[in-house]
């Protein structure tokens, strides 16, 4: 295992900048916010750890990129930020997210609530779910994993046409695997920063996707069926677990972060780190490092303390997913409380951050 460490001066410059204008901007932040953000370059800090690399297949090694500090983010002429008349994030569900309508509806509500807390200050709106057929996208069966896949680029074109006037961005979510072009095996997601659209799949986040027990495998498409969307009727969706919800929240906020202009983070352990595979994605934390947090705060204008409180409320509050019960014949009822067990450790971390901000 290799650890990526930067000097105190490097991290301080990446966070604050040496540009007098940006230094002045930083000094005007709330004292508690600065105290937390300064944890980035304190030698003895324990809230924000370094990036660890576990193999040659990890993102930083296999995809060399120039790092983006706050000044580069702030000065990016192509960066888009919400405006007074475009402060909504729209979520478009494509296909079902669960094996019943109720599970699917609750799942997307949980994701909506999480995004509202994470991108605190913006409104998150849900569009009516649509079947795959509504997108008119191409699809195929993956030769390696034998699961259905839909064409990410075609979905982006569909979303661009549906983007509402007040949208900062519109993102599609699906439990169907994605591919960007015929030569690629798969892709977790794809986005167009210029158009403010993205599509992300949670299909590979189920606990059984890579196992021999995976039930989503299908036989090759019959001749003439490449345009018959009936193949998606009753397609397999994984069980909604706390880990699946955590992975989905992580991917959704990471990718929307890109639409805000945040590039892959190479400073500290951070949600905005790139990931090449599921193991690496699981190592990536839910939180933004101070440098990326300042970028997002600059784009949206939230109060860091209130944002953290909103995230804690989302973890603690099950009111956006009340114990819904659905009959299952002789099996009785199934309760659907929000599965947040996997978020408990992160909640404790947020509370530590709040203690620093509120000193």
Residues catalogued as catalytic: 255
CA angle 205, 208, 211 (to 5 degrees): 120
Residue 259, judged by CB atoms within 10 A of its CB (0-12, 13-18, 19+), counts as buried
Q: Nearest CA to 25 among 68, 82, 74?
A: 74
Q: How far apart are CA 163 and CA 169, in angstroms?
A: 7
Contacts of residue 131, Cβ cutoff 8 Å, sequence gap at least 6: 94, 95, 229, 232
In sequence order, the β-bridge partners of residue 171 are: 91, 198
Could you identify the residue written with the tokens 């979303």?
A: 159
Number of Cβ atoms within 10 Å of the Cβ of 297: 19
Number of Cβ atoms within 10 Å of the Cβ of 134: 14
Q: How far apart are CA 161 and CA 170, in angstroms?
A: 10
């Amino acid at each position: 295992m290799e650890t990526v460490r930067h000097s105190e001066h490097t991290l301080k410059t990446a966070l604050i900048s040496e540009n007098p204008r940006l230094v002045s901007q930083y000094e005007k932040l709330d004292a508690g916010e600065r105290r937390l953000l300064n944890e980035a370059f304190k030698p003895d800090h324990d809230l924000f750890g370094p990036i660890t690399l576990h193999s040659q297949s990890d993102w930083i090694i296999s995809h060399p990129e120039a790092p983006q500090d706050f000044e580069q983010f702030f000065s990016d002429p192509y960066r888009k930020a919400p405006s007074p008349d475009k402060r909504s994030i729209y979520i478009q569900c494509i296909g079902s997210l669960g094996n019943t309508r109720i599970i699917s509806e609750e799942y997307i509500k949980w994701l909506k609530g999480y995004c509202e807390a994470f991108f605190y200050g913006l409104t998150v709106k849900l569009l009516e779910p649509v079947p795959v057929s509504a997108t008119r996208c191409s699809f195929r069966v993956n030769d390696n994993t034998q699961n259905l896949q839909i064409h990410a680029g075609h979905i982006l074109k569909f979303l661009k046409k549906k983007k509402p006037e007040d949208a900062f961005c519109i993102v599609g979510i699906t439990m169907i695997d994605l591919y960007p072009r015929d030569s690629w095996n798969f892709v977790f997601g794809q986005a167009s920063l210029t158009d403010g659209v993205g599509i992300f799949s949670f299909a590979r986040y189920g606990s059984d996707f890579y196992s021999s027990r995976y039930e989503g495998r299908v036989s090759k498409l019959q001749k003439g069926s490449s345009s018959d969307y009936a193949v998606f009727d009753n397609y397999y969706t994984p069980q909604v677990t706390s880990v699946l919800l955590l992975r989905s929240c992580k991917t959704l906020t990471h990718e929307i972060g890109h639409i805000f202009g945040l590039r892959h983070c190479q400073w500290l352990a951070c949600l905005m780190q790139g990931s090449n595979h599921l193991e690496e994605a699981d190592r990536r934390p839910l939180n933004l490092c101070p440098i990326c947090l300042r970028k997002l705060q600059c784009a949206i204008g939230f109060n860091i303390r209130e944002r953290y409180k909103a995230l804690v409320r989302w973890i603690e509050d099950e009111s956006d997913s009340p114990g819904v019960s659905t009959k299952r014949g002789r099996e009785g009822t199934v309760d659907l409380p929000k599965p947040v067990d996997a978020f408990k450790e992160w909640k404790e971390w947020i509370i530590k951050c709040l203690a620093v901000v509120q000193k």
